[in-house]
Structure 1
Amino acid sequence: MRRSFRLSLIALACSLALPAAAQEAAPAAPSPEEQAVMEAYQKAATPGPQHAKMAESVGSFDMAVLSWQSPDAPPTSDTGTSTRRMVLGGRVMVEEAKATMMGQPFDGLGLHGFDNVSGKYWATWNDSVGTGLMVAEGDCDDQGSCTFTGSWNDPVTKGRITARMTSRWPDANTEIFEMFGPGPDGKEMKMMQITYTRRAP
């Protein structure tokens, strides 16, 4: 009986020691294929010069907004503010806008990023005058001038509206954003222009 009890204690001690011994054992080296996968994911996740360039537009801005309903009619004029900040370890820029549009309060939320995998810049936009999502993709040059193509759902036709968007920086504290989309005749027209002026810190 004593011998059986003693053997049981030895077996229990061995079973408890096995996890610790397994932890101390050196992990197996990854195969070349596994190493390649890890390196690809690391490269995809590492912020690069495009993200650093994007971070230069962080700050608070005053917005002057012009909106066109028809190419033959004068634009309406509105004002607002925009705040931009980097999140996710410098990988994504968040933009929050507050303005008036045609006399009504307007809130907007945008995300901006650069995809290391596709080599493209991307953007999304939601605002308080709809419940849908605009998704855009494009390219930017070393001076920060960008051209994007984006689309969203048309509340009237239920189809997709596609627009072309450009942005440029005449100086370090001023950005001019323009949006062009289909007009009443189906031809491209200027729909919006926003001039962002950076506020002093």
Structure 2
Amino acid sequence: MIRKHAVSMTALALLFAGPLAAQEAAGPKMTPEMQAMMEAFQKAGTPGAQHQQLAATAGTYDLTVKAWHAPGTEPTTDTGTATRKMILGNRVMVEEVTSQMMGQPYNGQGLHGYDNVTGKYWATWSDSMSTGLMVSEGSCDAKLACTYTGTYHDPVTKKPQTTRMTSRWPDKSTEVFEMYGPGMDGKETRMMEITYKKRAQ
């Protein structure tokens, strides 16, 4: 559905943009409604300050991954690497992660972006330990301290599960990401903490 919606929106934009561009070249003036529609699509698709912030975090990172499997227990600790780069004309960041989890090789891929239309940051995540997709939305401040709410389908209950995620930058080369979800008692508990250390370029 998400893919179909995105394709539909792109087709709609092209549907309007093509004739409008042709009209501009030919000389006839657009109606105010057509002009407003064209400007709205252009504004929605133009990267801005938020996308520049994301681009500033591109690079290669060393990871320390802590995971809590039950409240009150010591976390397991693994290491890994992450690479981040901008795609689609600096509109979206793609992140590739290679690590270990529960003694098994782990690979994940995420997309991160900012939607000019909703005014929200968004993210997706898929990995080698599932066949599903987590979709998240949230807000960030000027220093990219963020809070997201993510939704995925729980493998046991088959029902949608919600998690809360935060990220902060103690310094320019360090990001701390945390994920929280419901524990066995239904109360929110910390599930994961990932510390990103950016390599010097």
Give the structure-1-normalised TM-score.
0.87
Aligned twin of 2:111 = 111
Distance in 2 between the 1:26 and 1:196 partners?
A: 53
Aligned twin of 1:137 = 137
After superposition, give the CA deviation of every residue in 1:25-66 in whole Å (9 maximum; x if it has no partner): 934221110000000000000000000011111000000000
Matched residue pairs, number? Answer: 178
Distance in 1 between the 2:56 and 2:26 partners?
A: 44
How far the C-alpha of 1:81 sits from its partner, in A, is 0.2
After superposition, give the CA deviation of every residue in 1:63-98 in whole Å (9 maximum; x if it has no partner): 000001111211111110000000001100000000
Aligned twin of 1:49 = 49
Moved over 6 A (4+): none
Gaps of 5+ in 1: 1-22
User: SS of the residue aligned with 2:26?
Assistant: coil
User: SS of the residue aligned with 2:157?
Assistant: coil
Q: Which amino acid aligns with 1:165?
A: M
Distance in 1 between the 2:109 and 2:88 partners?
A: 16
Aligned twin of 1:171 = 171
After superposition, give the CA deviation of every residue in 1:136-171 in whole Å (9 maximum; x if it has no partner): 000000011000000100011000110000000000
Query: Which residues in structure 2 correspond to 1:1-201 (within 5 Å)?
Result: 26-201=26-201
User: SS of the residue aligned with 1:42?
Assistant: helix
User: SS of the residue aligned with 1:90?
Assistant: coil
User: Which has the higher Rg, Structure 1 or Structure 2?
Assistant: 1
Aligned twin of 1:11 = none
Distance in 2 between the 1:70 and 1:123 partners?
A: 26
Give the structure-2-normalised TM-score.
0.87
Gaps of 5+ in 2: 1-22
Distance in 1 between the 2:147 and 2:26 partners?
A: 51
Identity score, percent:
61
Distance in 2 between the 1:88 and 1:143 partners?
A: 23
